[in-house]
Structure 1
Amino acid sequence: MDRSHERQLVEIESRLYREDPRFAEGLGNGQPCRPREYRHTRAWLLLGAALAVLAVGIALAHGLLIAAGLVLGGMAGELFDPQRPARRHRNFPPRPRPRRPSD
């Protein structure tokens, strides 16, 4: 194999290990697990808690519990988004500087 190809493979391997060490180790052992983007255990638990809080809030006719259940449901929905890490590291355009009054 060419040196440039070997270097590219090493770069890919190191980037994969930095992004998801558990997945990279699983590939090395021959027993790969799902990549981080497809692991939703915490999201399912939060969604279950949100539905429980929402149901209790509806049963007791308590507005604060209903609102808390809806907020928790929104948080769980955000955890299901596979593009969440990419959006978090997005570069925003610089803010314009405020103008100074001229003398």
Structure 2
Amino acid sequence: MPQSDDERLVDLATRLEHEDPRFVRSLSEGRPARPREYRRTSAWCALVIGVTMLAAGIIVPDGLLIAAGLVLSGIAVQLLDPNRDERPAK
């Protein structure tokens, strides 16, 4: 027997509240916030730190600092990719 539309909506609301409570809370208060998928503050911070580490490694010739800066910058750029969830699985 198929689920009714009301049950589906309640199930969807429950899953959304479980996944992103800040977004649901902001909607109920009438002041919408960006969903979790569009919040990229931590990725930008990681990119700034990675580039800073890279620059410091170049100024103070330290290969480990350069490598760590490159790795952190690469991770941050990967997190900033807007289409990272849309890629087909191989």
TM-score, length-scaled by structure 1: 0.70
CA distance in 1, matches of 2:18, 2:81: 21
State the identity %: 51
Count of residue correspondences: 85
Task: Provide, for residues 52-81 of structure 1, a one-character-per-residue CA deviation record: whole Å limited to 9, x for no partner.
Answer: 110111112221111010011122123324
Task: Provide, for residues 7-38 of structure 1, a one-character-per-residue CA deviation record: whole Å limited to 9, x for no partner.
Answer: 12111111111111111111111111001011
Structure showing greater Rg = 1
- Amino acid of the structure 2 residue aligned with 1:5: D
Aligned counterpart, 1:75: 75
Aligned counterpart, 1:55: 55
Runs of at least 4 residues off by over 2 Å: 77-84
- Amino acid of the structure 2 residue aligned with 1:71: V
Structure 2: tracts of 5 or more residues without a match: 86-90
* Structure 1 counterpart SS, 2:34: coil
* Structure 1 counterpart SS, 2:16: helix
CA distance in 2, matches of 1:57, 1:8: 54
* Structure 2 counterpart SS, 1:56: helix
- Amino acid of the structure 1 residue aligned with 2:22: R
- Amino acid of the structure 1 residue aligned with 2:58: I
Q: How does 1:1-103 map to 2 (within 5 A)?
A: 4-81=4-81, 83=84
- Amino acid of the structure 2 residue aligned with 1:35: P
